[in-house]
């Protein structure tokens, strides 16, 4: 439950501790992110939220900070701007504590630690904030509450370490998600690294994300975890098929291959200007990439055996993703700024680390902006009736 104003005042009066941090302003957002990361890790195991008071001096007096909407928006973006993974559970709001107006950032303990800020796991014991040691990371791992985790962080029954490509893990996955200085100081075994990155359980069972990103044969465990590519010569599904593939293997490999197919199919034309001529493609590749990557990232992998489908017609591209909008995202709020949620947070973290996602919550804005700049109509989003199986259907029409 949210902390009451009386509880906030009581905590503030206690001074800085492993649950409290005071900030005069929000000029140093990275320090606030470090504090949020540390509170989310909850190394002392309080199982209670930590609070960053923004608008309070070190001695607890009021700094008379102007509380504007822009400040609230910047602090609210901490949750899903991708700097902290997995996504922290946050509450950001105005508060009046002891007659002092301020913003409180309430960070709740994570069920899937360690939580990292830019590849580093921060912890707090008393007023001390520091990067977690290997021993402290081990303690954080032991705090995980497996039964409450999303499907992509759950262990895959029957899978073992031998089902993972550990060379890919060391050469590709770790450098993508862990800071270079942490890697340089790394004395952990491969199993300890897999544990720290939430890819195996303490019993050495790979998680769904581990199989999807690093599996030697992911489709043995998740037959529908594929991308079905089909290029059609006309505007109707019954027209001649030019090319048809089912892309398998780990998700990074599938996304790289679908990029190649879409790039090859995307015809470019000479646009004649008054003084210059430029080549313009039928579609902005960045828009199609964002839609496909979001389809793979946000789809349902739990009991869904359908692939993500990319169908390239002569006049449009259609992308179909199994699994409808999730959580705070509904058909009404889909694609609107400020409405983000994550069915697969660990998988999303991995795809961002690989560079497939630039910044969380920005994908549909990139689609809108690049389609407009290229001269394409806005993307069309369709959803099934409530009684039908859930999916998201996106149509991108060719530049006229």
* Domain extents in the chain: 5-130, 145-211, 227-397
Instruction: Give the tens place of pLDDT for each residue, 205-234.
Output: 999 999 999 999 999 999 999 999 999 999
Instruction: Give the tens place of pLDDT for each residue, 132-185.
Output: 988 888 888 888 777 678 899 999 999 999 999 999 999 999 999 888 777 767
pLDDT at 340: 72
Q: How far apart are CA 330 and CA 226, in angstroms?
A: 25
As a CATH number, domain 227-397 is 3.30.565.60
Q: At what angle do helices 251-265 and 285-298 cross, to 10 degrees?
A: 150
Q: Which residues on neighbouring strands pair with residue 23, listed in sequence order?
A: 54
Instruction: Give the tens place of pLDDT for each residue, 271-290.
Output: 656 666 677 899 999 999 99
pTM over 0.85: no
Averaged pLDDT of the chain: 89
pLDDT at 1: 67
By the 8 A CB rule, do 243 and 229 touch? yes
Q: What residues have CB less than 8 Å from 324, skipping those under 6 apart?
A: 331, 383, 384, 390, 391, 392
pLDDT at 277: 60
CATH of 5-130, one of 3.40.640.10, 1.10.10.10, 3.40.50.10490, 3.30.950.30: 3.30.950.30
pLDDT at 223: 95
């Amino acid at each position: 439950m949210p902390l009451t104003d009386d509880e906030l005042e009581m905590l503030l009066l206690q001074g800085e501790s492993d649950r409290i941090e005071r900030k005069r302003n929000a000029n140093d957002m990275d320090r606030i992110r470090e504090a949020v990361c540390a509170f989310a890790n909850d190394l002392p195991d309080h199982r209670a939220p930590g609070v960053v008071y923004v608008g309070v001096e070190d001695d607890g007096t009021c700094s008379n900070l102007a509380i504007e909407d822009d400040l609230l928006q910047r602090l609210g973006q901490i949750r899903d701007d991708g700097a902290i993974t997995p996504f922290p559970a946050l509450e950001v709001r105005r508060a009046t504590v002891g007659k002092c107006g301020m913003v409180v950032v309430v960070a709740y303990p994570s069920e899937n630690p360690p939580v990292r800020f830019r590849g580093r796991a921060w912890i707090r014991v008393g007023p001390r904030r520091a990067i977690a040691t290997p021993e402290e990371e081990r303690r954080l791992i032991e705090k995980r509450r497996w039964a409450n985790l999303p499907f992509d962080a759950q262990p895959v029954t029957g899978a073992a370490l031998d089902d993972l490509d550990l060379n890919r893990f060391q050469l590709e996955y770790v450098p993508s998600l862990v800071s270079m200085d942490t890697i340089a100081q790394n004395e952990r075994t491969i199993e300890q690294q897999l544990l720290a990155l939430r890819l195996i359980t303490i019993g050495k069972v790979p998680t769904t994300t581990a199989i999807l990103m690093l599996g030697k044969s992911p489709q043995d465990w998740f037959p529908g975890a594929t991308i079905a590519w089909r290029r059609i010569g006309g505007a109707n599904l019954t027209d001649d098929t030019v090319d048809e593939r089912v892309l398998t293997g780990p998700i990074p490999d599938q996304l790289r291959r679908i990029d190649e197919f879409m790039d090859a199919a995307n015809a470019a034309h000479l646009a004649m200007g008054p003084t210059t001529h430029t080549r313009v493609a039928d579609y902005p590749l960045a828009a199609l990439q964002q839609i496909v990557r979001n389809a793979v990232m946000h789809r349902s992998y739990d009991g869904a055996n359908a692939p993500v489908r990319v169908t390239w017609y002569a006049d449009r591209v259609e992308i179909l993703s199994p699994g409808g909008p999730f959580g705070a995202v509904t058909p009404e709020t889909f694609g609107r700024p400020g409405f983000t949620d994550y069915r697969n947070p660990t998988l999303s973290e991995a795809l961002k680390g690989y560079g497939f996602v630039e910044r969380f919550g920005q994908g549909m804005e990139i689609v809108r902006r690049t389609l407009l700049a290229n001269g394409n109509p806005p993307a069309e989003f369709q959803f099934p009736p409530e009684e039908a199986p859930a999916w998201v259907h996106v149509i991108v029409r060719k530049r006229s």
